[in-house]
Amino acid sequence: MKIVLCFMLCLTPFVSVEARQPCNKNNCNLALFPRIGSEGTDDLRFERAIDAARGQLHKTLYIPNGIYTFHKGIVLKEKVEILKILGESTEKTILYLPQGGTGINILHPGGHDEVHVSILRLSIKHNEKHDASHDGHGIRVGNGWKKGSLLIERVSIFDSPYYGIGIQNSGANALPANDITIRNVKIVGTGSDGIDTKRPLRAEMPNQRLVIENVAVKDFGWNDALSSAAIDVGHEDFTLRRILISSKACLQTKAAKARVDKECDEATKANASDKNKICSQKPEACVVGVRINSRDGGASKNGQIDGIGIRGTKIGIFFNAKDEKDLNENVSIQNFLIEGHQSVAVYMRGKNHSLLNGCIGFGEIGSRDIVYSKPIEPLTIREGNVMKKQSKCNLVIHKP
């Protein structure tokens, strides 16, 4: 009997104590944080795993391949938020939000003291039926930080009701969201902007240092009332490199219909002289490829756009500005291709910009290539080697 027992024990594989623990020296593994009791989604499971990862030196949550269902999503709300969220693969590690909500929300009321967050190798998916009653984003920054950075890399985002990635630190007391890198990202089917970075209201504290590279944005704006952009820039010192954008120029949306109905009702009550014109508007929201934004006494400046292809939008690249105080400055656009635009390929405002080495293909009938509009300092705008109204552009924009 002793011999048999010894033989059986010797055949039993050895499992170390560390291997059975949910956290080891490299990461905390979500697979070892199961749902508890009647939990119908993975929200609380992720919350427990993230709390555990925060307590480790590596600050890393590893997510194996699988579909993880959420009711609200992940919220990173610590005043000092240091965390790496690492999926096994972009294609098969999926955070799924069928009823809306934000996939990953970085938000501490009043702003973070410090943020060092990396989101790597995963997908975020919302309901593909595009239910306008749902809310939420793919990834959202609700407020900025005093110091730190954010890295989003090898991430795909599908069908979010609002922004794919929203940097929304726009409140009166918001901190800037500095040092953001978005790399190797695909965004498809967002209700509003693909990537939106808003400026804080305080002009003396602008967002600084944004890099977006190897990014594709497709089919956006289905839930907007007026206008969406594939990429909306509200940063100083920004770089957009190797970008592909495609979408229908205008979409009939429920939000646009509600807007037109409201404007028509107000015009009718006021017996406005242009009532008929207002009430006959199409209930459409139209889209822009890249919007260089300014607001509230601040502007986006010191930017480089190098290697961008835009197809099918109403306006390709749009420099937004309210008045002379909001002039966007020092933006270089080179190696660009814009075609199939409904209205304007490049709508230029501001000063000290350059537009070099590009090709503007045929747009819709009546469309224009480049428009210079006030407020602008035209003598400071440099344009060179830009081919216009081309039936075929030989410029190659490498696929992200």
- Write out pLDDT tens, residues 63-93: 999 999 999 999 999 999 999 999 999 999 9
Instruction: Answer yes or no: is pLDDT of 9 > 80.
Output: no
> What pLDDT, in 10s, does the model give residues 222-242?
999 888 999 999 899 999 999
Non-local (6+) Cβ contacts of 365 within 8 A are none
H/E element, 54: helix 43-54
- Residues 119-130: what's their mean pLDDT? 96
Please give the average per-residue pLDDT across 117-136, as a whole number.
94
Q: Which residues pair with 346 in a beta bridge?
A: 317, 370
Question: H/E element holding 48?
Answer: helix 43-54
**How confident is the model at residue 395, as a pLDDT?**
63
pLDDT at residue number 285: 86
**Would you state the pLDDT for residue 253?**
85
Average the pLDDT over 343-352 and give the result: 94
DSSP state, residue 4? H
The percent of residues in the chain predicted with pLDDT above 90, rounded, is 66
CA distance 389 to 362: 5
3-state SS of 69-127 is ECCCCEEECCCEEEEEEEECCCCCEEEEECCCCCCEEECCCCCEEEEEEEEEEEEEEEC
Lowest mean pLDDT among 93-97, 116-120, 158-162, 275-279: 275-279
Q: Which residue has the higher pLDDT, 59 or 260?
A: 59
Instruction: Using alpha carbons, select from 107, 133, 134, 137 the residue that is nearest to residue 124.
Output: 137
List the end-to-end C-alpha distance of the chain, in Å, as a whole number. Answer: 66
Residue 400 — very low, low, confident or very high, per pLDDT cuts 50/70/90?
low
* The pLDDT of residue 7: 43
Assign a CATH topology to domain 28-248+287-390: Pectate Lyase C-like (2.160.20)
217 SS3 class? strand
The residue among 243, 239, 247, 197 whose CA lies nearest residue 222 is 247
The predicted model gives 187-211 an average pLDDT of: 88
Region 289-318: mean pLDDT is 88
Q: How confident is the model at residue 15 (pLDDT cuts 50, 70, 90)?
A: very low
Looking at residue 298, its pLDDT comes to 66
* Alpha-carbon 323 to chain mean position: 27
Mean pLDDT along residues 250-259: 85
For residue 17, pLDDT over 50 is answered with no
Whether 2 has a pLDDT exceeding 60, the answer reads: no
pLDDT at site 255? 84
Residue 293: what pLDDT?
84
Other residues' Cβ atoms within 10 Å of the Cβ of residue 7: 9
Q: Average pLDDT over the chain, rounded to whole?
A: 89
